[in-house]
Every structure is written in C-alpha cells, then in structure tokens.
C-alpha cells in the first residue's frame, strides 16, 4: 500500500491583500508537499478561498460589483500569486462551489438531527445603519468599527453548535496527544486561555445578511463563517458528496498548517465538529508565527504591503521562496525587510550556490574540455582528510534533512543542505584546483576534486528541489540531468557518471548591490 499525506493551508480570504507574509503558509506547505512526494508519498495538497460573510458582500457592494464577479476576480489574482510562486497544490476549493455548499448543508442537518445544533437567541452589539452585529471586542471605543456610530445591545435568532459538550474531550485530546497541536507553546495557550476557562456554545448562523450557505429547513439564516470554512478540509475530498473516494483515501489530514491567530478555531472548534460528526481527527495542527514588517503583522491598512508578484518578477520566485523558508524561525515570528531579503539572496543563493556552480562548471570546461573526469582514491593524507570531510557532509544528508522536515523544522532542513554547499566552497580553497592544473602529474587529483564538486552540486540540486524550483533544474541542466521525481537512489554520493558532458552554467542568481537597490526602490515608492 502506498504511503499517503494530506496537507492543507487555511482557505484565504479573497481580500486582495496578499503580501509576502500571506504567502508564508502556502510556501511552507508547498515545500512539505514536494518533499513528501519526493519521498514516495501520494500527496494531496489542498488550498482555496473562504468566500462567504458580510465583509465580502460589503466589499463587493462598496465597489459597485456583483459579489460573484468580484470574487472571481480576486480568486484569479490569488491563483496568479500561487502560479508565480510555483505552488503545487492538488486542489483549490472555493466555499462558493456548489458541492461544498451542499455538503455544508448536510453537515448542518446531521448535527442538528443529532442535537448538537439547536436554535436560540444571540445577544450582541448591533449597529442599525450598517445592519451589523458585533461582539464587544470587535467594537472600536464602544462604537461600530465600520461607521463609528453607536452600537446597541440587540438579540438575533441564531443556531448554536453545542461546543461546550466537547470541552472535556478537547482537554483530554490536547493534554494526552502531544502530537496533535504543535508547537508545544500553543497547547498551553489553548488549555489555559480557552479550554480550562470553559467553552460556551458557538453561534453558527446569522439572519442579518445573506451572503452564505443557507441553513437547511430555515433559509432565513445563513451558516456563519467557521462551520462553513472549516468544513472545506473534508468537503474538498468529497465528504457528504456524490463521490467520497478521496475522503476515504486521504482523511484524516496529516497536517493542517496555519498562522497562530487561527489556531483556536482549528484546535478547538474543528476537532469538536469532527467529534460531533464521528469522524477521525487530523493528526496534526500546526500554528506558525508571523512574518513581521517593522515589528507589525503586515497588512494593507498599515501601508507596508509587499507584493509577492512584484518581488518574484524582480528577484526571482526561488529567492522569495527561499527567504520565507529560511528566514522565519519555525513556530516563531520572523522579520521581513528588503535588506534582509536581498542579503539572504546574495549570501546563500548568489555567493554560496551560484559561485559553486559557476566555478565548478567553468573549471571542468577549462581543464577537462567539459567532460566530467573520473574520481580516484587520494594518496596524500591531507587530500584524504579534505575528501572525507566533504563526503561526511554529503553522506546521510537526506536522512538529516528528513529528520528536520518530520519535525517541521524547515529552516534547519534548508540550512543542512547549505552546510554541504558551504563545505564544498571551502574545499575549493583547500584543494586549490588552479594550482593543481599547473602540474600535469596532479591531473588525476584535479579530476577527483572537480568530480567531488560536481557531485555535491548534483546532490544539493536534488535535495533543494522541494524548496527551490528553477535553480535545481538549472544546476542539473549542466550535467544533462532532470530533477528526479523521487529521492530514491538519487541521494548517495557518487551518482554522477564520469564521462558526462558538462555544460558551463549561466548565472544562477545575479549579485545585487543592496544599498543601490534599496535606494532605487525607495525612490520608486516615493514617486
């Protein structure tokens, strides 16, 4: 039986507010999905959009647009972002898809019939001119956050999900299954701030707006956000639909990945819903940190938006992916600045990786007419030492990277590959091939050195292929190889065949003058 892996991002609000921070969850999941595919897993990677609710209806109306037209445009833009970043999702769900809406209604009905959904009254703050209900915490200085006018206490007939019934089971889940919610800090947060404080039942319908899934049997109501949104993880697989083969094959999810602000919904409301539906729980919920910009979570309202499409077009999608994967300590917040991004690009991609490739392929061309020489056993003790140390960085590398990926330590996994690349650059300085080339009797040694360097490049390209997209293939092009579909048999040192024709590389990543570039971008922004 083949190994399976089901991974999900949250479904995105079609806000148009997509910046480099918003791409974080998707890029991380993409690297994990690609890594698992290379490990021979059958992967299902789900992403999509969260399209219901009053805010969306109002955004469309404010622009004088039909809601569905507005949404289609937003979704096209989001898909373009994922295309530019080379996100390898298997399915894109939209909560406005008919099959999703029908399944949500069936889920609602099932929970209602079971007694886990009941009708009651929802009491909250109401802004009459905006026809909007707000929780007290949503109000700004006690006033409506949209129009700034007074809001008053009002009652609305609503359906409720019996969340409180699942409190003890949820506490038991988080206390006893340490793998379920990660990182560990989020467990304490959920237990102390929410679960032990006591859960109240969750209001899951509204009558004050109509942009949503209609409540079956009571179409004055629409299903309110979380029941609709969270269900996407199972409706996308056909749960309660005509064909539930994918559900049978892939559920339970191996990993729900999301930013820390929505962990509560995924580790409390979602498992409670699944318990009520009597279906297995996801294996892991992971709440990552935020990419911060000048110390704040990025958002359009703060005027510090960084457009991922522009960044990818200017500096390359690989550089954007690499920054996201490498720079944010996993589980914690990370800082974005153009300077940090460009420095990282210059240091790792241009200097370490790019230089290793250009130096190695140029020397193979210059000294061996572009034909890869065969390695021989080193005679000299210091040569032996250099070779052994280089190989020690290469041997077992897949296992070390896998170990980090299994623990979701993505920056550490990429760093492990760069340790080999940096070791290879040091190896060039130690073995000084340009000196060996002057002495005909050192030709065999020179051949060994260049073979070892070429082999490091091959191995690095193979292992980098889940993280970067264009660079690994460009590296392998020099050795007339393709990125392999699977790591199997590709990660042992010595895979390159002597006699292979080696093509001198083009520039992999151009070097950017950071100060000049920052000045130019600032000038552009102030225009």
If one asks whether residue 70 binds ligand ME8 (CB under 6 A), the answer comes out as no
If one asks whether residue 272 binds ligand ME8 (CB under 6 A), the answer comes out as no
The interface mask with ligand ME8, positions 233-252, x = CB under 6 A, is: --------------------
If one asks whether residue 212 binds ligand ME8 (CB under 6 A), the answer comes out as no
Which one of 10-18, 76-84, 237-245, 512-520 is the stretch in contact with ligand ME8 (CB under 6 A)? Answer: 10-18
If one asks whether residue 133 binds ligand ME8 (CB under 6 A), the answer comes out as no
If one asks whether residue 24 binds ligand ME8 (CB under 6 A), the answer comes out as yes
Which residue intervals of 395-487 are DSSP H helices? 397-406, 410-431, 433-436, 443-464, 470-477
Q: Which of 7, 10, 222, 416 binds ligand ME8 (CB under 6 A)?
A: 10
Q: Nearest distance from residue 363's CB to ligand ME8, in Å? A: 42
Which residue, 326, 253, 199, is CA-closest to 10?
253
Q: Nearest distance from residue 24's CB to ligand ME8, in Å? A: 4
- Number of residues interacting with ligand ME8: please give it, by CB under 6 A: 19
Q: Is the separation of the CB atoms in 248 and 222 below 8 Å?
A: no
Q: Which of 259, 308, 447, 472 binds ligand ME8 (CB under 6 A)?
A: 259
Phi and psi dihedrals of 346, rounded to 5?
-65, -50
Q: Is the separation of the CB atoms in 436 and 445 below 8 Å?
A: yes
The gap between the terminal CA atoms of the chain, to the nearest Å, is 60
**What are the C-alpha distances in Å from 64 to residues 54, 55, 60, 270, 334?**
15, 14, 6, 35, 38
Q: Which of 60, 240, 262, 311 binds ligand ME8 (CB under 6 A)?
A: 262
Q: Is the separation of the CB atoms in 204 and 122 below 8 Å?
A: no
Q: How many CB atoms lie within 10 A of CB 405?
A: 20
Q: Which of 5, 6, 7, 22 binds ligand ME8 (CB under 6 A)?
A: 22
If one asks whether residue 50 binds ligand ME8 (CB under 6 A), the answer comes out as yes
Task: Enumerate the β-bridge partners of residue 256.
Answer: 8, 285
By Cβ distance, which residue is nearest to ligand ME8?
259
Phi and psi dihedrals of 237, rounded to 5?
-95, 0
The interface mask with ligand ME8, positions 288-317, x = CB under 6 A, is: --xx-----xx-------------------
Q: Nearest distance from residue 394's CB to ligand ME8, in Å? A: 33
Q: Nearest distance from residue 248's CB to ligand ME8, in Å? A: 22
Which residue, 42, 44, 95, is CA-closest to 237?
44
Tokens encoding 35 = 């890594």
If one asks whether residue 229 binds ligand ME8 (CB under 6 A), the answer comes out as yes
> Which stretches does DSSP call E strand in 270-385?
285-288, 291-293, 296-297, 334-336
Q: Which of 21, 48, 316, 378 binds ligand ME8 (CB under 6 A)?
A: 21
**What are the C-alpha distances in Å from 251 to residues 4, 44, 48, 125, 254?**
10, 10, 18, 39, 8
Q: Compare residues 23 and 43 and give the one whose CB is closer to ligand ME8.
A: 23
**DSSP secondary structure, 174-192, as one string:** HHH-TTTEESHHHHHHHII
Q: Which of 5, 6, 7, 12 binds ligand ME8 (CB under 6 A)?
A: 12
If one asks whether residue 13 binds ligand ME8 (CB under 6 A), the answer comes out as yes
Tokens encoding 8 = 């999900």
Q: Which of 7, 25, 87, 431 binds ligand ME8 (CB under 6 A)?
A: 25
Q: Compare residues 252 and 495 and give the one whose CB is closer to ligand ME8.
A: 252
If one asks whether residue 230 binds ligand ME8 (CB under 6 A), the answer comes out as yes
Q: Nearest distance from residue 261's CB to ligand ME8, in Å? A: 6
Q: Is the separation of the CB atoms in 312 and 49 below 8 Å?
A: no
Q: Is the separation of the CB atoms in 184 and 209 below 8 Å?
A: no
Q: Compare residues 258 and 398 and give the one whose CB is closer to ligand ME8.
A: 258
Q: In the complex, which residues of this chain contact ligand ME8 (CB under 6 A)?
A: 10-13, 21-22, 24-25, 50, 229-230, 258-259, 261-262, 290-291, 297-298
């Amino acid at each position: 039986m083949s190994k399976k892996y089901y991974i999900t991002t949250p479904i995105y609000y079609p806000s148009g507010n997509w910046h480099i921070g918003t791409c974080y969850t998707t890029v991380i999941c993409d690297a994990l999905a690609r890594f698992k595919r290379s490990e021979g897993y059958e992967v299902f990677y789900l992403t999509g959009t969260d399209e219901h609710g009053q805010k969306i209806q109002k955004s469309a109306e404010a622009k004088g647009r039909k809601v569905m037209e507005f949404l289609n445009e937003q979704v096209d833009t989001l898909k373009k972002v994922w295309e530019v970043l080379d996100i390898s999702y298997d399915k894109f769900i939209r909560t406005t898809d008919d099959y999703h809406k029908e399944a949500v209604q069936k889920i609602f009905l099932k929970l209602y019939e079971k007694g886990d959904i009941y009708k009651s009254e929802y009491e909250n703050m109401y802004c009459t001119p905006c026809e909007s209900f707000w929780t007290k915490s949503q109000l700004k200085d006690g006033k409506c956050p949209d129009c700034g006018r007074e809001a008053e206490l009002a009652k609305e007939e609503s359906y409720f999900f019996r969340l409180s019934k699942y409190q003890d089971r949820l506490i038991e889940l988080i206390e006893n299954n340490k793998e379920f919610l990660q990182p560990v800090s989020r467990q304490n947060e959920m237990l102390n701030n929410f679960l032990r404080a006591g859960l109240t039942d969750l209001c899951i319908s509204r009558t004050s707006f109509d942009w949503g899934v209609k409540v079956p049997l009571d179409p004055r109501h629409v299903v309110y956000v979380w029941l609709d949104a969270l269900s996407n993880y199972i409706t996308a697989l056909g749960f309660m639909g005509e064909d539930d083969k994918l559900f049978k094959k892939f559920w339970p999810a191996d990993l729900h990945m999301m930013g820390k602000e929505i962990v509560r919904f995924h580790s409390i409301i979602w498992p409670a819903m699944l318990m009520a539906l009597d279906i297995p729980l996801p294996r892991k919920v992971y709440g990552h940190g935020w990419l911060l910009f000048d110390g704040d979570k990025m958002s359009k309202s703060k005027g510090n938006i960084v457009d991922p499409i522009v960044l990818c077009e200017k500096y390359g999608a690989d550089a954007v992916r690499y920054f996201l994967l490498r720079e944010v300590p996993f589980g914690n917040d990370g800082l974005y600045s153009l300077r940090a991004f460009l420095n990282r690009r210059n240091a790792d991609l241009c200097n370490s990786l790019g230089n290793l490739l250009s130096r190695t392929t140029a020397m193979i061309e210059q000294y061996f007419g572009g034909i890869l020489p065969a390695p021989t056993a080193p005679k000299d003790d210091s040569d032996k030492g250099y070779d052994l140390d280089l190989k020690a960085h290469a041997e077992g590398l897949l296992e070390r990277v896998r170990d980090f990926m299994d623990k979701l330590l993505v920056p550490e996994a990429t760093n492990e590959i760069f340790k080999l690349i940096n070791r290879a650059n040091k190896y060039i300085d130690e073995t000084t091939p340009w000196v060996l080339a002057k002495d005909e009797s050192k030709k065999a040694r020179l051949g060994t050195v260049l073979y070892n360097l070429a082999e490091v490049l091959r191995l690095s390209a193979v292992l980098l292929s889940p993280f970067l997209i264009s660079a690994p293939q460009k590296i392998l092009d020099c050795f007339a190889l393709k990125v392999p579909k699977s790591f199997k048999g590709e990660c042992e040192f010595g895979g390159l065949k002597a006699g292979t024709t080696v093509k001198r590389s083009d520039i992999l990543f151009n070097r950017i003058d950071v100060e000049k570039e920052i000045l130019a971008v600032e000038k552009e922004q102030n225009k």
